[in-house]
A and B are shown apart, each in its own frame.
Chain A
Amino acid sequence: MRRRTGFWAALAAPGTLWIVALFAVPFYAVAAVAFGYTDPVFNSPVPEWDPRYWDLTAFGEILDRSLTGDLRPVFLRTFLYVLLALAVCLLVGYPVAYYLARHAGRRRGLLLALILAPWWVNYITRMLAWLNLLQDDGYVNDLLLLTRLVDEPVRWLSGNPVTVVLALVYGYIPFFIVPLFSALDRIDERLLEAARDLGCSGRRAFWHVTLPLSRPGLMTAGAITALPMFGDYYTNSLVSGSPTTTMIANQIEFYLLGGTRKELGASLVLLLSALLMVLMAYYLVSSRRAEEAGA
């Protein structure tokens, strides 16, 4: 018995050790910087490796500013943008994933390939293309003006929050569609047929069978989309660059890459990570519950 466990543990060991050495230890380094200080001459972080000497001032300051100070609106804005982006992902992504799983038929392979294709073009290149399209005199405004949907060009790139949210959606929606598709695909057609045989309308079958069964997939899709959005800083700086749309990761970038107090940046990282871990834990717990309920 013990030897059997040993074999599987040995298989898992290299990967686990890798993640410990190159993920857990570096994370400790972030804490060491957050509780350390910045070299005042070179503005470089000086990590404090020894927890006995940890200085919590910077973390306290960040916490304080996040609760009542200038970082509070930034946090709120970040949550709002991510929620809105998730909502759009859901509204667009669910029908797409559903169509793909149920109705695409022979075109399924082609559609999947098309949906995955943007992944193969560099993210920054795609965003640059959007920047061209969204200029005041760009194709998007041309189209909107031509179809009389608007009377004057929309200022997409003038620090417009709508653009930021849509750009986030654009950047991450494949991560949403793909897991959702595989969840919908796994749903047994016979269950739906049974529901219909029992007199359910298509709509009721969807609400009472498909939707509940796709919940785990939705959870995964939501988690896998939302978590990186919280840490995204370049989408925002590419399409907006305005202080009115600053998100939390922009402030992390600001404090970590510039500035004279790297410990503030590292503290902000710790705070954001703590929040994300709460979300992650919620996801893990509820997906396990969903799994158990499903079984």
Chain B
Amino acid sequence: MRRRPLVLATVTWAYVVWSLVPVLIAIQFSFNDGKSRSTWQGFSFQWYAGNPNSVAGDPSLRLALVNSLVLATLTTLIATPLGVAMALGLARWKGRTSRAANGLMLLPLATPEIVMGSALYLVFTNLYLFVPLGMPAQVLGHVTFSVSYVVVIVRSRLVSIGTDYEEAARDLGCGRLTALRLIVLPLLAPAVFAGAMIVFASSMDDFVISAFLSPDASSATVPIKLYSAVRNAPSPALNALATLLLVGSAVALVLAWLVLRRRTGSKALEQLASL
């Protein structure tokens, strides 16, 4: 019936190619048999293992990998419940304070990272002296910029669910908490999952806030290593590191998606899109 939208399809696939080419090139050069990240010199695994500067050979790269994963996991574990509770609360709680909280919640989304990073650095070194710089401060900082993502995503799902199911459950004698647990949370699951994924990804990707809150090399993350390498001595080991992160994240994402799809039957991936 409908005409095939050739122009649209071309634009879309061209865009996909454009966005993926550098990713593929970055992966390709992680297998380069030379120090260069721009001149291809043959295939090799030396930047993964074997070379003393490879991911396996350089303890500082391994440490960065571990730090990034721990940081992103902790951030996701804290920010997700915090954001879900806040989304539920803000959606149902009416009043002036609620409106203020609503506005406040949006501000971190609009704040440039450099502003947030330097501001957090100032409070951790001047006011909240009980929080040591390094992993603890980094987790607090990452949760701060992540909570809003979760709130926004979960709320849009809440709106589309409406309150009917919950009210029905309440009419049938469920307590408020029980209704939340049995009705609302399962319906929210895809959004919660999407939120958690975005939090994890943005925590893994964050350079500015991690760097401000990292006092020494023991709390360096992968992006910190990458950025300092850009300024100094980039080697294909960094591409290898990024590739490993990509593979790890992709596996985690696919597994989580499969589990979720079995349990809820909904299209979790598309829920990722309801930012």
Query: A: which residues have CB within 8 A of B?
Result: 4-5, 7-16, 18-20, 22-27, 29-30, 32-33, 45, 47, 92, 95-96, 98-100, 102-104, 108-109, 111-130, 132-133, 135, 138-139, 170, 173-175, 178-179, 181-182, 185, 220, 223-224, 227-228, 230-234, 238, 249, 252-253, 256, 265-266, 269, 272-273, 276-277, 279-280, 284
**Pick from A4, A23, A238, A253: contact of B108, CB under 8 Å:** A23
C-alpha gap A96/B274 in the complex (Å)? 16
Interface string of B245-275 (1 = CB under 8 A from A): 1100110010000000000000101101111
Q: Is the CB of A135 within 8 A of B269?
A: no
**Pick from B120, B238, B275: contact of A26, CB under 8 Å:** B120
C-alpha gap A220/B152 in the complex (Å)? 11
C-alpha gap A27/B108 in the complex (Å)? 10
Q: Is the CB of A99 within 8 A of B272?
A: no
C-alpha gap A163/B4 in the complex (Å)? 33
Q: Is the CB of B144 within 8 A of A273?
A: no
C-alpha gap A220/B273 in the complex (Å)? 13
Beyond A119-B205, A121-B245, 4 additional pairs, beta carbon < 8 A? A12-B101, A109-B267, A182-B270, A234-B208
Q: Is the CB of A125 within 8 A of B26?
A: yes
Residues from 108 to 143 in B contacting A, C-beta threshold 8 Å: 108-116, 118-120, 122-123, 126-127, 140-141, 143
| B172 on interface, CB distance cutoff 8 Å | no
Query: B: which residues have CB within 8 A of A?
Result: 2, 4-5, 7-9, 11-12, 15-16, 18-23, 25-26, 29, 37-38, 82-83, 85-86, 88-90, 92-95, 97-98, 101, 103-116, 118-120, 122-123, 126-127, 140-141, 143-144, 147-148, 151, 156, 176, 201, 204-205, 207-208, 222-223, 226-227, 230, 234, 238-239, 242, 245-246, 249-250, 253, 267, 269-270, 272-275
Q: Is the CB of B242 within 8 A of A26?
A: no
Q: Provided the pairs A30-B122, A125-B226, A252-B114 are in contact, do residues A103 and B201 lie with their beta carbons within 8 angstroms? A: no
Q: Is the interface of B mostly helix, strand, loop or mixed?
A: helix
C-alpha gap A121/B247 in the complex (Å)? 9
**Pick from A15, A112, A122: contact of B151, CB under 8 Å:** A15
Instruction: For residue A255, give the distance in angstroms from its CB to the closest CB of chain B.
Output: 10
**CB closest residue in chain A, given B156:** A182
C-alpha gap A233/B117 in the complex (Å)? 13
**Pick from B15, B90, B230, B246: contact of A12, CB under 8 Å:** B90
Q: Is the CB of B205 within 8 A of A95?
A: no
Residues in chain A near residue B223, CB distance under 8 A? 122-124
C-alpha gap A133/B25 in the complex (Å)? 9
Q: Is the interface of A mostly helix, strand, loop or mixed?
A: helix
Q: Provided the pairs A103-B5, A232-B112 are in contact, do residues A45 and B82 lie with their beta carbons within 8 angstroms? A: no
Q: Provided the pairs A5-B93, A99-B9 are in contact, do residues A11 and B38 lie with their beta carbons within 8 angstroms? A: no
Q: Is the CB of A96 within 8 A of B11?
A: yes
C-alpha gap A199/B15 in the complex (Å)? 33
Q: Is the CB of B110 within 8 A of A227?
A: yes
Instruction: For residue A132, give the distance in angstroms from its CB to the closest CB of chain B.
Output: 4
Q: Is the CB of B119 within 8 A of A233?
A: no
Sort A-B residue pairs by CB-CB distance and give the 4 closest, nearest first. Answer: A231-B112, A12-B89, A15-B86, A11-B89
**Pick from A14, A30, A118, A175: contact of B19, CB under 8 Å:** A118
Instruction: For residue A188, give the distance in angstroms from its CB to the closest CB of chain B.
Output: 13
Q: Is the CB of B7 within 8 A of A12?
A: no
Q: Provided the pairs A33-B122, A95-B11, A135-B38 are in contact, do residues A231 and B114 lie with their beta carbons within 8 angstroms? A: yes
**CB closest residue in chain A, given B200:** A120
**CB closest residue in chain A, given B198:** A119
C-alpha gap A20/B101 in the complex (Å)? 9
C-alpha gap A20/B144 in the complex (Å)? 10
**CB closest residue in chain A, given B91:** A8
**CB closest residue in chain A, given B25:** A129
Residues in chain A near residue B115, CB distance under 8 A? 30, 231, 252, 269, 272-273
Q: Is the CB of B273 within 8 A of A30?
A: no
Instruction: For residue A2, give the distance in angstroms from its CB to the closest CB of chain B.
Output: 11
**CB closest residue in chain B, given A112:** B269
Instruction: For residue A182, give the distance in angstroms from its CB to the closest CB of chain B.
Output: 5
Residues in chain A near residue B37, CB distance under 8 A? 128, 132
**CB closest residue in chain B, given A113:** B269
C-alpha gap A101/B120 in the complex (Å)? 40
**CB closest residue in chain B, given A93:** B15
**CB closest residue in chain A, given B18:** A170
C-alpha gap A178/B273 in the complex (Å)? 5
Instruction: For residue B130, give the distance in angstroms from its CB to the closest CB of chain A.
Output: 12
Instruction: For residue A68, give the distance in angstroms from its CB to the closest CB of chain B.
Output: 24
Q: Provided the pairs A23-B107, A29-B122, A138-B38 are in contact, do residues A18 and B273 lie with their beta carbons within 8 angstroms? A: no
